Structure formats: structure tokens, C-alpha cells
């Protein structure tokens, strides 16, 4: 029997994924037909409502996959599971409203659309409560972990002011091309105020102005993308819910696209300028000074005996203290497989390149160990490269290199890009890989 840690009550990880998908899909249909009966007085679905139901299916699939709603192993307690269900329901409602506004399907009843979304989310919440209650009853009580909403904030106010101005500039540029002037029509100032209100809320919720330490530019700009997407979805929801159908869709959603382009340029300049300033900052820590001063000694001796002692020393310390200092697993594997104490430095070739070894050299220097720090995926002619390495090694010699497999390439891609972008890029990569075969 597996013992759960206090405060970490998780749902059954072995719960079949197919069963969860089927139950959730059934709840969506049940919610739609109940609301349809409430509005029409019958369970019969017209052709027009049938198309709406198909649209619900597509949006349900997209939202469920992107929010990993069916990965129940991430539901560490009831509140975390309820938050994921509610967040998925909010995005589901956003996308439905955006679809209605973009396609001009204003004839649908707001009760039919939003009622289905609300009942569906309510059904999912009840189902989660039942499953959680059964699990807690079978595994005994446990204290839930407290949820802390406190986050450190280091806001860049200059960036916030610039982005505030970009919102207005984007709106008036679209208005200029749409109306041939900067003068806005009556009631459109309300639209501008609505956009600014959503900009404020979405900026706070995505924390896009906070100066956090991101891995790279893609991760740093991801909150900005989310903020614009949330603004676009919220605008579609509000326009449909309050029947603001007289607003031009170009002037509603056009500024969002233009704002995204402006923000991409401005934030790229800000990000790399900030990184450059941090790199050029003066050294203030003792660890940094020690790391810079700690260099491998350069031998300028002319004594042949000293040179002979250096070149005939084992290569083990060179790999342990320098080249594989941060990769202990590889060092241990090499040390056990080839006994680095018996391989001399003069018999070793360490490189970081994709070129052919000793290309164009008439007299080759044969080696017992050829070590390349560069991944072999970047080598243009693999067969020619491996034949050249084989010709270089003495009988019983070793070649050590590394390559990106499909699995490691996926890991690298998800480390470099945000999850949603990485999913799309990895799907394209697999498609291109399949067609190349």
C-alpha cells in the first residue's frame, strides 16, 4: 500500500485516460441538450444548433489538450484540480464567444451559448468533487497544503508606460486607415476605454512587466503574447455578451495584432539591452573573480623532459577537472569503459568542430581517443566524417561524441520555448521528419 505524504493527496494516476475523455465529452453533450431543452422546450436540435454543437466539440478538444485537463496526476489537491477546471472553462467560454464574433453568428442566443458553457463547467466541478471525495475516503484524511498567492514583484514602470502608449497608438493607427482620419466615431471612445481596462487587468494577471530572470527571449516574451491573447478573447466575450454589434471588428481586433507587433520590437530591444548591461556590469562577487582567475596553466617550458612529462601524463585529470567537470555521469562512464589512467594526453584529440579531422593534412597523427564536444547532428556528411575518424584511430581506439535524438531534441525544444509554442514546433518537426523518410 502506497503511503501519501501529508498535504499531497493525488488522484489515481492509473485512471484510464480514455474513460476521462469519454465522461467529459458526455458532460458537454448533456449540458448542451439540457440548455437546448430549456431554450427550445425540446431535445430536438435544429441544423443551425447542430453546427454550433460541432463548433463546441472543436473548441472543447483544443482547450482540453492545451490545458492538459485530463492529466489528473497534476491535481495535487481539490483546489488545484478545481482551479484547472475553472480556468479551462473560462478559456472555453472565451473561445466560443470569439468564434461567434469573428464569424458574425449573432443570431445565436446568449443563453444557449453561455448557458452551455456554465452548465458544462458546473458538471465538471461536481464530478471532480465526487472523485476527490471518494479518493479521500479510501486513503484517509490529510491536510491540504496552503496556497500562497504572494509573488515578488519588480515592475519595470518605464516599460509599462511605453506599452500604455503603444495601446493608444495601435488603436488610432487602425482608426486612421479605417476612417481616413484620427477622429473617432461616437461610442468608440468607450471601446478605447474598454481596451485600456482589459490591458490593465491582463497585464497584471500575466505579470508581463515584472523583471524576472527568464531562460531566454522566447520565455520572457511569452507573458506578453498571453496578455494580448487574453485581451482578444475578452473583447470577443464582452462584445457578444453585451451585444455591442455595431463596433467594427477591424477596429476591435486590428489594434491587438498591431500592438503585438509593436511589443515584439520594443521588448526585444529592451530584453537584449538589459542583458547586455548585466553582462557588462562590474564584478562584485568573490566567486566570479575566482572563476575568472582559475585557468589552466600554460606551459612555456623549453625543457624537453618537462614537456615529455606533460604530454605523457594520463588524460583522466584533464577530463575530470575541465572538459567534463559539469558532466560527472559521462566522465564516470568513460573512466569505467576505457580506463583514462592508461590513455595519455599525446594520444588524445579533443575538438569542438564539425570539420573532418586532419582534412588536407598529408601526415596523420593517429590517436587512441578522439573526443568531439560538438554534436554530430551538425556534420554535413556523416558517413565521410565517421570514416575519417575511424581512419584516425589506432586499433582499439575510442571515439566519444554526442547527438540529438528525437527525445533529447524534444527536451531541448521544451526548455527553449514556452510549452504551447514548443508543442506546435515539435509537431512540425515530427511532420518534417516523417516526410523526409
- Output the CA–CA distances (angstroms, integers) from residue 110 to 39, 282, 340, 425, in the order listed: 10, 60, 74, 36
Q: Which residues, listed in sequence order, are joined to residue 350 by a DSSP beta bridge?
A: 371
- Distance in angstroms (rounded) separating the CA atoms of residues 360 and 50: 71
SS3 259: helix
- The order of strands in the sheet holding 393-400 is 348-351, 367-372, 393-400
Conformation bin of residue 337: beta by default, left when phi > 0, alpha when psi is -120 to 50: alpha
Q: What are the DSSP calls for 380-408, one per residue?
A: S-HHHHHHHHHHHEEEEEEEE-----HHH
Q: What is the pLDDT of residues 286-311, one digit of tens each?
A: 555 555 455 555 455 556 666 666 67
- Distance (Å, whole) CA 97 – CA 91: 10
The closest alpha carbon to 398, from 331, 347, 325, belongs to 347
C-alpha–C-alpha distance, residues 245 and 238, integer Å: 10
Q: Which of the residue ranges 152-156, 177-181, 188-192, 310-314 would you say has the lowest mean pLDDT? A: 152-156
Average pLDDT of the chain to the nearest whole number: 77
- Compute the average pLDDT of residues 275-293: 60
Confidence of residue 152 (pLDDT cuts 50, 70, 90): very low
The verdict on pTM exceeding 0.85 is no
Q: Give the residue, 359 or 263, on which the prediction is more confident.
A: 263
Residues 218-233: what's their mean pLDDT? Answer: 87
Model confidence over 104-140: pLDDT tens digits? 666 777 788 888 888 888 888 887 777 666 656 555 5
Q: pLDDT tens digits, residue range 388-399? A: 888 888 888 889
Q: Residue 314: beta bridge partners?
A: 344
Name 398's bridge partners: 369
Cell match 458574425: residue? Answer: 104
Q: Is the pLDDT of residue 312 over 70?
A: yes
Amino acid at each position: 500500500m502506497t503511503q501519501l505524504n501529508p498535504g499531497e493527496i493525488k488522484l489515481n494516476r492509473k485512471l484510464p485516460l480514455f474513460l476521462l475523455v469519454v465522461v467529459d465529452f458526455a458532460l458537454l453533450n448533456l449540458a448542451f441538450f439540457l440548455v437546448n431543452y430549456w431554450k427550445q422546450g425540446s431535445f430536438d436540435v435544429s441544423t443551425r444548433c447542430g453546427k454550433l454543437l460541432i463548433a463546441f466539440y472543436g473548441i472543447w478538444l483544443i482547450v482540453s489538450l492545451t490545458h492538459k485537463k485530463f492529466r489528473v496526476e497534476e491535481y495535487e489537491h481539490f483546489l488545484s484540480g478545481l482551479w484547472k477546471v475553472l480556468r479551462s472553462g473560462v478559456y472555453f467560454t472565451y473561445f466560443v464567444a470569439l468564434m461567434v464574433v469573428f464569424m458574425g453568428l449573432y443570431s445565436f442566443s446568449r443563453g444557449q451559448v453561455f448557458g452551455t458553457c456554465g452548465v458544462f463547467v458546473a458538471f465538471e466541478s461536481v464530478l471532480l468533487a465526487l472523485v476527490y471525495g471518494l479518493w479521500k475516503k479510501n486513503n484517509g484524511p490529510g491536510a491540504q497544503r496552503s496556497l500562497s498567492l504572494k509573488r515578488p514583484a519588480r515592475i519595470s514602470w518605464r516599460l509599462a508606460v511605453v506599452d500604455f502608449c503603444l495601446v493608444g497608438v495601435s488603436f488610432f493607427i487602425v482608426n486612421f486607415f479605417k476612417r481616413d482620419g484620427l477622429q473617432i466615431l461616437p461610442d468608440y471612445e468607450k471601446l478605447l476605454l474598454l481596451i485600456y481596462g482589459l490591458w490593465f487587468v491582463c497585464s497584471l494577471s500575466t505579470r508581463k512587466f515584472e523583471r524576472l530572470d527568464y531562460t531566454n527571449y522566447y520565455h520572457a516574451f511569452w507573458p506578453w503574447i498571453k496578455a494580448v491573447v487574453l485581451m482578444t478573447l475578452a473583447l470577443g466575450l464582452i462584445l457578444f455578451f453585451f451585444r455591442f454589434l455595431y463596433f467594427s471588428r477591424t477596429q476591435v481586433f486590428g489594434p491587438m495584432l498591431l500592438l503585438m507587433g509593436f511589443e515584439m520590437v520594443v521588448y526585444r530591444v529592451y530584453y537584449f539591452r538589459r542583458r547586455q548591461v548585466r553582462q557588462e556590469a562590474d564584478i562584485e562577487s568573490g566567486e566570479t573573480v575566482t572563476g575568472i582567475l582559475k585557468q589552466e596553466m600554460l606551459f612555456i617550458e623549453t625543457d624537453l623532459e618537462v614537456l615529455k612529462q606533460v604530454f605523457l601524463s594520463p588524460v583522466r585529470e584533464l577530463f575530470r577537472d575541465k572538459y567534463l567537470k559539469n558532466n560527472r555521469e559521462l566522465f564516470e562512464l568513460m573512466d569505467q569503459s576505457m580506463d583514462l589512467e592508461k590513455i595519455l594526453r599525446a594520444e588524445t584529440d579533443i575538438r569542438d568542430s564539425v570539420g573532418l579531422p586532419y582534412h588536407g593534412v598529408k601526415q596523420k597523427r593517429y590517436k587512441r581517443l578522439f573526443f568531439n564536444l560538438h554534436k554530430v547532428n551538425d556534420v554535413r556528411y556523416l558517413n565521410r566524417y565517421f570514416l575519417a575518424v575511424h581512419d584516425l584511430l589506432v586499433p582499439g581506439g575510442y571515439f566519444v561524441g554526442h547527438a540529438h535524438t528525437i527525445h533529447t531534441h524534444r527536451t531541448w525544444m521544451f526548455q527553449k520555448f514556452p510549452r504551447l509554442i514548443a508543442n506546435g514546433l515539435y509537431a512540425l518537426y515530427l511532420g518534417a521528419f516523417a516526410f523526409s523518410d
